[in-house]
Amino acid sequence: MKTSFLLKTYMLVLLSLVLVSCTNPKQVINIDITAFMYGDEINQTVEVSMNGEYNTKEHSFIGSLVIGDVIKLEHVTFSPGSGLISYHESTRSYLGQIFFDYQSLHFSIEITDQDLYQQLTESNHDRDKKITITSPANNIEEAKRMNAELKDKKLPFEK
């Protein structure tokens, strides 16, 4: 009887370990949504596509980002609450900060990159200016509220 109980316990523990080790930490992300873009020189909706894989163990995204008809970044990477990085050939660019919830797919990108700023606003960039692109949001009030919520949310590695 005791041997049977120990054998069942051993099998249950072994099965649990196998199941835990077999789970795939990568989640496919396919976002095609209207977001709200705002800053000193712009307040409007914009189509945003984010496609790639989010690693739930490393809390990192690798994929592509398209903003409107103007910006097509084929290789981007980020961790929520940190920098949005773009790679083009051997050039690495810091575009700004991103807040992202992989479960709800809500995001807020604070773009500070001079070239990207100029492409999106068609105006000159001064070092203190930024554009924020937030989803879900249809107006500036919703966008600012969602941006604040995402910033206040604990990051996955802070738990």
pTM for the whole structure: 0.81
Strand partners, 6: none
CA-based nearest residue to 72, from 80, 63, 81: 63
Percent of the chain past pLDDT 70, that is, above it, reads 81
CA-angle at 140, arms to 118 and 71, nearest 5°:
30
If you average pLDDT over every residue of the chain, what do you get? Answer: 87
Phi and psi at 153, nearest 5°, equal -70, 135
Is 90 exceeded by the pLDDT of residue 29? yes
In angstroms, rounded to a whole number, what is the distance separating the alpha carbons of residues 28 and 129?
33
pLDDT tens track for 9-21 = 766 666 555 555 5
What are the b/e assignments for 82-98, b being 16+ CB within 10 Å?
Answer: eebbbeeeeeeeebbbb
Q: What is the pLDDT of residues 53-101, one digit of tens each?
A: 999 999 999 999 999 998 999 999 999 989 999 999 889 999 999 999 9
